[in-house]
Amino acid sequence: MMITVNLKPGLKRKRAGSPLAGAMAGVKAFGSKVKDPALLVAVAAWVGVAGFLGYNWFSNTTALRALEPQLEQTRAEHQRFKTFLDQKHKQEQIRDSLLTQITTIRSVDGDRYVWPHVLDEVTRALPAYTWLVDLSPVAAPPPPPPTAAQAKDKKQQQPVDTAPKTVTFQLNGRTVDIQAYTRFLRNLEASPWISDVTPVSAQTIVEQQRAITAFTIRADFKQADSAYIRTAPLSQSVR
């Protein structure tokens, strides 16, 4: 049991109030002491600004903590796509290098078997009692200069031209039968390797006291379809 002694008998003991009531009383006392309303407005404004900044800081901190997992996931995705793009770039470099090598090889080796094919097709089409005097290539006319738009598109696209070039040739021959000459023209046109067969001239001349027909034919050699190409081994074992 606690005994309370009042050292001032004339005064009544005040009952302890709540902390909120004490704070309100302090504010009222401060307001009664401060008589300038501008000072009160300034203090209230600073208190509001401080509260707003504190609220913003707390909100931004919470949002930043919530976004940290997404940031880590985004970084992982960025690293994965960067690795993928690096690999793709290396593969494209390898592809471009291979295309350059293939183009170089075709430019060097592309014309190696042109004339054997030409001679083979011409010999196959040559009828009886007909012979050749000469067979020579004909220079193709230069292509027209490209326009500004075509040059710009070609510079932007830069395609790799791997298609075989067309070779124009001219042959001079003799025949003792005019029908053999027309048959020779039809046989050349039927060849899948020869196109644009054009008779240039055909006239009767006398050689070794015999009247024969001298003719000149111009045609183009082109790459035939793969269905007409036959391959054969270079070497074959003999038993």
Question: How far is the C-alpha of 219 from the C-alpha of 172, rounded, in Å?
Answer: 12
**pLDDT at position 186:** 93
Tokens 């090598």 locate to 101
Q: What are phi and psi of 7, to 5 degrees?
A: -80, -10
Q: Which residue has the tokens 């009222």?
A: 28
Chain length of the chain: 239
Residues 91, 83 contacting (CB under 8 angstroms): no
* DSSP label at residue 226: G
pTM: 0.48
For residue 16, the tally of other CB atoms under 10 A from its CB is 8
- Consecutive 10-residue averages of pLDDT for the chain (239 residues): 60 54 60 63 79 84 84 87 91 91 75 82 91 87 65 54 72 92 93 90 88 93 72 60
CA R_g for the chain: 51
Starting at the edge strand found earlier in the chain, the sheet holding 210-221 runs 130-138, 167-175, 210-221, 194-207
pLDDT value at position 171? 93
* The residue type at 95: R
C-alpha separations of 228 from 27, 118, 224, 231, 235 in Å: 107, 14, 6, 10, 22
Give the pLDDT confidence score for residue 184 in this predicted structure: 94
